[in-house]
Amino acid sequence: MENEKRHWPIGIFDSGIGGLTVAQAITKLMPNEKLIYFGDTAHLPYGDKSAAAIQAYSVKICNLLLKQQCKVILIACNSASAAAYELVKEYVGSKAKVLNVIDPIVSYIGNTYPGKTIGLIGTKQTVNSNVYRKKVDALDLGIELKSHATPLLAAMIEEGFFNDTISESVIHAYLSDPDLYNIEALILGCTHYPLIKKQIENYYKGKVDVLDASQIVAQHVKNYLEQHDLASDKLTGDHHFYVSDFTRSFEESTRIFFKREVELEHYPLWE
């Protein structure tokens, strides 16, 4: 008997456009999956918000994604994965599977870098929550995690500053911090950062592996769907994109992040 849920969409959310880097990796790897994307632009940036605020936004977004019959909800934001994953998982219960962007990268680190020193950059919420450190320590593989909060980066990228001299100076200032000395790999712990991956690689001149989670997360979603007989074998309708606040800059950036034209629907979380 065919599992009818197979043709249900995958729900994805982020504070803004960052999660589109993950959405794009998913559509590339699984072209038959339909996506429902929510960018909570009214509350961006999440990285400076309290855990309680991010949890409240995440629950509201999940209500919409559940109404749209999503088979899986992927929290495509490190800040929300750090602050709200456990709560959202409990809230959603058996209605959908909830996945986050932190666990796949931690398991990749465990397989690839046992006994090594790894760096992490991300928002204040992600770094200060210590979620990465706790999960890496739980692996018990002798991995030392050095982390540094880089709060300007997501805002800088949202404003379109990447691949230019402004972004280069900000990146240099953050990466030269002693917190990140002597690392062998660097986790890009924010879904906005793949857009500045090249600049970060240039800074390290090949001496540090720069780990962009989007492909690793997409592979994790694919494995999950296949193992649970939930992978779709045909695309049923186009992807749908919601934003809680509509701005022109968001619409423009959407094209850059997703590498195609997308139609955004305005959906305020609170009326």
> Which residue numbers are catalytic?
77, 190
Report in angstroms the alpha-carbon separations of 31 from 62, 218, 258: 23, 12, 14
Q: Which is nearer to ligand DGL, 42 or 154 (CB)?
A: 154
Q: Binders of ligand DGL: how many residues, by CB under 6 A?
A: 18
Applying CB under 6 A, which part among 176-184, 188-196, 235-243, 263-271 lies near ligand DGL?
188-196
> What single letter denotes the amino acid at residue 270?
W
- Which position among 11, 45, 104, 194 is part of the footprint of ligand DGL (CB under 6 A)? 45
Element (H, E) at 35: strand 35-39
User: What is the edge-to-edge ordering of all strands in the sheet holding 240-243?
Assistant: 97-100, 72-75, 10-14, 35-39, 240-243, 264-266
CA–CA separation, 133 vs 127, rounded Å?
9
Is 80 in contact with 63 (CB distance < 8 Å)? no
Q: How far is the CB of 226 from ligand DGL (least distance, A)?
A: 26
Q: Is 38 in the site for ligand DGL (CB under 6 A)?
A: no
254 binds ligand DGL (CB under 6 A): no
Q: Which stretch binds ligand DGL (CB under 6 A): 63-71, 75-83, 104-112, 194-202?
A: 75-83
Identified binder of ligand DGL from the candidate list 61, 190, 211, 217, rule CB under 6 A: 190
* 13-32 footprint of ligand DGL as x/- string (CB under 6 A): -xxx-x--------------
**Residue 146, SS3?**
strand
Q: Within 10 Å of residue 13's Cβ, how many Cβ atoms?
A: 25
The whole-angstrom separation of Cα 166 and Cα 80 is: 27
Per CB under 6 A, the list member of 38, 46, 108, 203 interacting with ligand DGL is 46
Contact assessment for residue 100 and residue 79, using Cβ atoms and an 8 Å cutoff? no
Query: Cis (ω within 30 of 0) for the bond into 45?
Result: yes
Using the rule CB under 6 A, which residue among 10, 30, 36, 44 binds ligand DGL?
44
Judged by CB under 6 A, the stretch of 63-71, 89-97, 180-188, 190-198 that binds ligand DGL is: 190-198
Looking at beta carbons only, is 47 or 119 nearer to ligand DGL? 47
Per-position DSSP letters for 101-112, written without gaps between them: SSHHHHHHHHHH
Per the document, the length of the chain is 271
123 belongs to the binding site for ligand DGL (CB under 6 A): yes
Closer residue to ligand DGL (CB): 9 or 194? 194
Q: For residues 192 and 220, which CB has a smaller minimum distance to ligand DGL in the complex?
A: 192
Per rule CB under 6 A, is residue 72 in the interface with ligand DGL?
A: no
How far is it, in rounded angstroms, from Cα 14 to Cα 22? 10
The contact set with ligand DGL (CB under 6 A) reads 14-16, 18, 44-47, 77-79, 122-123, 126, 154, 190-192
